[in-house]
Structure 1
């Protein structure tokens, strides 16, 4: 292990400005790794047409290459996040990022579908706990009133990473082939891992974390039994609704991001590179929507956190309306505009959902709480979306399959309604526990 001199807490906090600057540096690097995460995950979608031709794959098999990553994330996110809470979040982040980068390199070296599927599974293993651990690190160094904004901006990194993965991957694949596309994503990830390892340490993060969170972590985080942990994670009906609603509503971006390049290739006659670049624009719209929607949720819910539920419901309904109309229109610019409008709101509830999970759980178990949120996001939305869409597409066509996707946010809206009805009472219970833990 490398040893080097690190600044002490006193050196780090010589001025409040220095602390704030370092907090934003940590945020930028953590989001940077999230970009790498999704670049490695979504570059596959850019080369779907090439893999389909090269290995003569069905849509079901193509979808499985995408879904296996989310499946591994869903299955492993909770146990690995619990381990990260105990072993050290920063060390865990470095290890996970190194693994998914090397696995992406393995994708570039695959010679058949089986090898590619195995490599993609290891990409998922590496990414499994990153979202939950990364957001726990970020939330621990920013004030609570910014939670929806920070959560939305952090999760939007997935959309922006998908944009880069599709656009850059499609461009590289168009000139150098699909193997080079995977290799480029792997190289970027390895570079970011090295930078993160040098710049971010637990000791440097300590002065940025609140005294209350530190006391809770000391009193609960390391000594908490599994039974107590589970009880804390599922202590209220509203937090369960936040988990489930978030997962269900994310089926839309997962399905559309996976299949939009193929949709544009088949129904608009676009070549692989152009289809990937065009699809990347829609993913970018999703990312911008996540940031804007998260910011608006914080802005309009200052008087009461319960308004975040209403805002999340509104985002889901807008997504349902725009996509339902757009996917039933004839091919053309008007259809793409409506699809784009739907994609702007399709992940808008991610920020409010993350804020609700943070509000309804103790800081000492935030990594585990966000692991549970990630578990729900993957098992209910991200994992089944691509492969189920592929299975249906093999039977009724890709367009018919995509037309069913907008019903997911409609179901999510109903779940958020239940959460809203129970939120005020549940928050009082959690706040009482938080005050007791802080004493």
Structure 2
């Protein structure tokens, strides 16, 4: 128990010295302390995959819904955006509630709700029923990202938080890959309803396993940071501090705006390849899943690059996020102007790789500018920005524009949103030193 109450570096040193002294029983405990956090990460990550599989499987069945129910592109977009909208609206209040009610119980309830709601999607008989079911999916998924990453970070040392944040957030894209590709194949061979049913069953199986393995008590036993005791922060600052630091605001805005185009690619690439490359829905979904995989891989690689570049100069995180946005802006902006063919696919692939590259670094910047006692709520606020400014807004606006300009015309405009993200991130870089001073003042006041 003494190890859980020391600082990040001390448990390693203490355990090492005991092991060197030959004290019996230490090595199994050390292995357990190393293994359990990774088990928590694996199960939490698996549920995140289920989260996004349930969310993005809809994109794979767009052609079937459009044909069977004669839906417009704006109606199809609303089925996607309603989920992101609910996530954006409910993430912060549900994150705060989870901190008080219990994070594990909250995660189990969330995953159960979105899995059952996905099953309701499978039996929907019209657009209105499907929209209502998707609404419930959004409610269930609302705070999973912020609460899930808070659970993971609580049992890992701060020195790996940036890497874990990037990998965890990339899980959304990996889940989208599986959801879109598998959903498309199932829809072609068994019908679109079975695509939803398969995701629902998988989610329910994972939540049962998570409930057995992950408990509040075991998380408390493996907690790393001093401010955590039985899962509850000891020293707290007001929640209002999340909104009084201008540099954090820039991170919220930049992070949300850079997700706009990534969200469009996640939602509309299956339809793009179906309409403009003449691919059948299942083949279009598989090809689109490659681009979604590029988005996910880019998030991880971009996070690693940022950690390397900013190791001795944290302010360089801002420059990295700006660079990723510029690359994607140029690649996608030019790519969507070209005709179909290899040059277009290469540029779209490069743009997709860096489309959400700023996500991990942005999360790390928010974590570095918020007090530990409200850090999960800070990440929740970033999730709100990601959904309101990106995941909800992007696909819906493109759907509306597609009804008027055609899907390609709408996609050609999309990359311009990166300009707004670049401006927000550039301003944030200038405000970063003042933001660190403000955080130090908040920490001092809380300690007093």
**CA–CA separation in structure 2 for the residues paired with 1:167 and 1:189:** 17
Structure 1, unmatched stretches of 5+, are: 1-8
1:198 maps to what in 2?
A: 212
The residue number in structure 2 matching 1:61 is: 75
Match of 2:228 in 1: 214
Matches within 5 A, 1:3-402: 15-214=29-228, 217-221=232-236, 228-230=238-240, 232-402=241-411
Q: Do the aligned partners of residues 218 and 64 (structure 1) sit closer, same or farther apart at CA in structure 2, a change above 3 Å counting?
A: closer
How far is the alpha carbon of 1:15 from its aligned partner?
A: 2.6
- TM-score, normalised to structure 2's length? 0.92
Is 2:99–2:232's contact at 8 Å kept on the other side of the alignment? no
- 2:424 corresponds to 1:415: yes
Q: 1:16 to 1:435 in 2, by over 3 A?
A: farther
Q: Distance in 1 between matches of 2:160 and 2:67?
A: 47
In the alignment, which residue of structure 1 is the partner of 2:8?
none
Cα displacement (A) at 1:413: 1.1
Question: What are the Cα deviations for residues 82-131 of structure 1, in whole angstroms up to 9, with x where unaligned?
Answer: 10010011110010000000000000000000000000000000000001
TM-align CA RMSD:
1.9
Q: CA deviation at 1:433?
A: 3.0
Q: Is the 1:308–1:352 contact (alpha carbons within 8 Å) kept by the matching residues of 2?
A: yes
Is 1:430–2:445 an aligned residue pair?
no
Q: Is the 8 A contact 1:145 1:298 kept in 2?
A: no
C-alpha distance in 2, partners of 1:183/1:98?
14
Q: How many residues align?
A: 426
Q: Shift of residue 183 of structure 1?
A: 0.2
- Is the contact made by 1:212 and 1:438 (CA closer than 8 Å) also made in structure 2? no
CA distance in 1, matches of 2:225, 2:56: 39
Aligned partners of 1:365, 1:392: CA distance in 2, in Å?
39
Evaluate the alpha carbon distance shift between residue 49 and residue 130 of structure 1 in structure 2; reply closer, same or farther with a 3 A threshold.
Answer: same
Per-residue deviation, residues 13-35 of structure 1 (Å, max 9, x unmatched)? 95333212111111111111110
Contact 1:13-1:19 at 8 Å conserved across structures: no
Could you tell me whether the CA contact under 8 Å between 1:146 and 1:298 is conserved in 2?
Answer: no
State the alpha-carbon separation in 2 of the partners of residues 366 and 76 from structure 1.
Answer: 17
Taking structure 1 as the reference length, what is the TM-score of the superposition? 0.94
- 2:235–2:447 contact (8 Å) kept in structure 1: no
Cα distance in 2 for partners of 1:143, 1:55 equals 51
Counterpart CA distance in 2 for 1:169 and 1:234 is 40
Would the aligned equivalents of 1:12 and 1:19 in 2 still touch at CA under 8 Å? Answer: no
Deviations 1:215-268 (A, max 9, x none): 6944345xx6xxx212x1113111001111100110111111111111101100
How far apart in 2 are the matches of 1:152 and 1:50?
34
Determine if contact 2:315/2:429 at 8 Å carries over to the other structure: yes
Deviation of 1:146 (Å): 2.0
What does the per-residue CA deviation read over 1:368-390, in whole Å, with 9 as the maximum and x for residues that have no partner? 11111111111111111111101
SS in 2 for 1:250: helix
Aligned-residue offset at 1:367: 1.9
Aligned counterparts of 2:401 and 2:358: Cα–Cα separation in 1: 26
**Whole-Å Cα distance in 2 between the matches of residues 324 and 68 of structure 1?**
27
* Residue ranges of structure 2 left out of the alignment (5+ in a row): 6-24
Q: CA deviation at 1:203?
A: 1.0
